Structure 1
Amino acid sequence: MKTISLSEHEVRAAVSMREAIDAVRRGFAGLARGEFEMPTRTALRDGRFLVMSAHHRPTRSAMVKTLSVNFDRAPAITGTVVWSTLDRLDHLIADAGAVTTLRTGAAVGVATDLLAAPDADRLTLIGTGGQAPDQVRAVHTVRPLRRLTVVGTTEERARSLADTLRAELDGTEIRVGTDPASAVGDAHIVCCATSATSPLFPASALPAQVHVNAIGAFRPTMRELPDELLADSTVIIDELGAVLEESGEIIHALRAGALSQDDLTELGTALTSAPAGHGKRTVFKSVGVAMQDWTIARLLADKFLG
């Protein structure tokens, strides 16, 4: 029996964003087929401590992730991911922060590839925390960017992230700002990765055709998008049970009558059948589900356990 333990650097070195996107895409398709046993995650102290688990029936393998979330420290997400299978004694343990940001970015890559216009090449990123870089990497993987606008709470934070990403985005024009509403006006794609508790911009600030990813709000008390945007968009979610339990945007829009559950299409379903749209705007709302962590853990297990 052996146990492999992987650091953040080792996770990053082992799995490319393209590999992660392809694996998460297969995972969402498998979720739609009923391949996963996946309880709703346990959230303690209003989401500051999280426990997530997923069992993949065809491979008799499972993943359990435990983490803590504190936006007042860096990194905000710390913890462990443990992968195991009934068919062998070996285990793999990986840094939860790296797995979480990678799989969240990958889900955005899958959704953006499906929903954004084929020629979309202008991204506005709102948020400069630990999730933000992989949002850009994922979008750039499926829609090579001609322009990136980074919006932070301060220009210094936005510029710092822009400088970090510059080396990875050769030939991309990079701008920075502090006002989300003015920064989304001519975007083709918008990524929201914040801890906001109220909408970041009005729906009227967006162009008529745009794809919006929202991954920051993962508790009912958090909210990045306005009801008006959700009411006027094709809305794709990661998993119905999860968003009804945890997504502040979806819960608020349902209570306000801006949405009904029939308006929500899970990403796994949308990958095989085009969702019915309300207009030219599309939204992907994700709170993150354990299947995504399993897909990255499975990639790592294949590479390190053989």
Structure 2
Amino acid sequence: MKNAVLALATALRAGLDPHATPARGNIPLDRGSFLIMPGEFGDYAGVKILTVAPDNPAVNLPRIQGNYLLFESKTLRPVALIDGIALTLLRTPAVSALAVDLLAATDASTLLVFGTGPQTLYHVRAVAAVRELTRVTIVGRSAERTEELVATLRAEGFTASAGSADDVADAQIVVCCTSASEPLFDGALVRDDAVVVAMGSHDPASRETDDTLAARSRVYVEDIDTALREGGDVVVGIEHGCIDPADLVTLSQLACNGADPRTGPALFKSVGMGWQDLIIASALHAHRDAAHQ
């Protein structure tokens, strides 16, 4: 995970422009949809193709499935086929962890995560790769799934417990990994020095954070146009007059220039972009080649 975070930061500092990444394609199908996410940078090009099948859980199959195909950019020769879900479970938390690493205080050690799915577990591991965590709190809708996740984290050596939405008041890092369409907590409770990551949706009408947090925060995004198209936490915040689009700061600006001083929380809204998959896939391929030499 630490290498994945480094790969993303290195690419941004080497001139990768997220704004130049083609937009995510969402193609309707009879039983769901294709999500198509292409990208190109340096020596590689690639595309992630996922299928979203809402009825699959009823027949004990994953809702989202797919693969990533990596090509050499010079010849467009295919060089690797990577499991799309495994790749997403690495790249999405790595993006969040990069933002946390760039925005959180160096001694930030308390993490609260909303959600109980696979992204929650991987986000805890990702944040732990960039900060020394002393406490992890999990907030979930299902008490049973929350306790199962807490037990898994404890087995991995984390000091973990179940909590409630009000526990954001004590968290230096807050991560939202849910499918919620309405705010999960009261933004007034969030510490002024906290970093909040909202990554649970890419729907302009859905958000995990509220107007209060938006109005208090310096807001960071992967790419401004993408956020205005897909990031509900940003889109709704702008519609309600809580966010000025001119004040949005991109992850690239943050990685290259560092964080400016702020008096309130930092809110990072991510929706996932094709360049992120490409950079992590390229790094995985390079690692595999090195391991076989």
Q: Same fold (TM over 0.5)?
A: yes
The answer as to 2:50 corresponding to 1:62 is no
Conservation of the 8 A alpha-carbon contact between 1:51 and 1:64: yes
Partner of 1:108: 96
Q: Which residue of 2 aligns with 1:79?
A: 66
Residue 81 of structure 2 aligns to which amino acid in structure 1? I
1:1-306 map, 5 Å: 17-30=1-14, 33-34=16-17, 37-45=20-28, 49-56=34-41, 58-59=42-43, 61-69=44-52, 73=57, 75-85=62-72, 86-87=74-75, 89-168=77-156, 170=157, 172-177=158-163, 179-180=164-165, 182-276=166-260, 279-305=263-289
Query: How has the CA–CA distance of structure 1 residues 209 and 37 changed in structure 2, closer, same or farther, with 3 Å as cutoff?
Result: closer
Counterpart amino acid of 2:160?
I
List per-residue Cα deviations over 1:160-200 (Å, max 9, x = no partner).
Answer: 111222232x2x321113x32x2212011000000111111
1:224–1:88 CA distance, 2 compared to 1 (3 A): closer
In 1, the alpha carbon distance for the partners of 2:105 and 2:47 equals 36
| Structure 2 unpaired stretches of 5+ | none
2: distance between equivalents of 1:244 and 1:302?
34
Question: 1:111 is matched by which residue type in structure 2?
Answer: A
CA distance in 1, matches of 2:6, 2:243: 30
| Residue identity in the other structure for 1:64 | V
Seen in structure 2, the aligned counterparts of structure 1 residues 138 and 70 have a Cα distance that, compared at 3 Å, is: farther
The alignment yields a C-alpha RMSD, in angstroms, of 2.2
Query: How far has the Cα of 1:34 moved from its partner?
Result: 3.5
In the alignment of these two chains, the number of paired residues is 283
1:68 is displaced (CA, Å) by 2.5
Structure 1 pair 277–256 and aligned structure 2 pair: CA distance change class (3 A): farther
Q: In the alignment, residue 35 of structure 2 is paired with which amino acid?
A: L
**Kept in 2: contact 1:37–1:55 (CA 8 A):** no
Assess, with a 3 A threshold, how the Cα gap between structure 1 residues 49 and 162 changes in structure 2: closer, same or farther. farther
Assess if the C-alpha contact under 8 Å between 2:102 and 2:258 holds in 1: no
| Alpha-carbon shift at residue 276 of structure 1 (Å) | 4.6
Determine the C-alpha separation between the residues in 2 that align with 1:278 and 1:70. 42
Q: SS of 1:28's equivalent?
A: helix
Partner deviation per Cα, 1:222-253 (whole Å, 9 max, x = no partner): 21011221121111111112111101111111
Determine helix, strand or coil for the equivalent of 2:178.
coil
Name the SS for the 1:55 alignment partner. strand
1:46-92 CA-partner distances (Å, limit 9, x unpaired):
99531100011x32x21100112457736443111000013473421
Whether the 8 Å contact between 1:65 and 1:79 is mirrored in structure 2 is: yes
Alpha-carbon separation, structure 2, partners of 1:274 and 1:119: 17
Q: Would the alpha carbon gap of residues 153 and 83 (structure 1) be closer, same or farther in structure 2, given more than 3 Å must change?
A: same
Task: Give the Cα separation in 1 of the matches to 2:140 and 2:28.
Answer: 27
**Cα distance change, pair 277–234 in 1 and its aligned pair in 2 (3 A):** farther
Displacement after TM superposition at 1:124 (Å):
0.4
Q: CA deviation at 1:291?
A: 0.8
**Percent identity at matched positions?**
34
Calculate the TM-score normalised by the size of structure 2. 0.89
Runs of 5+ unmatched residues, structure 1: 1-16
Q: Is the 8 A contact 1:66 1:81 kept in 2?
A: yes
Moved more, 296-305 or 124-133: 296-305
Deviations 1:10-68 (A, max 9, x none): xxxxxxx11111111123334x5538841111124599531100011x32x21100112
**2:39 & 2:78 partners in 1: Cα distance?**
18
Contact 1:234 1:276 in 2 (8 A): no
Give the aligned partner of residue 4 of structure 1: none
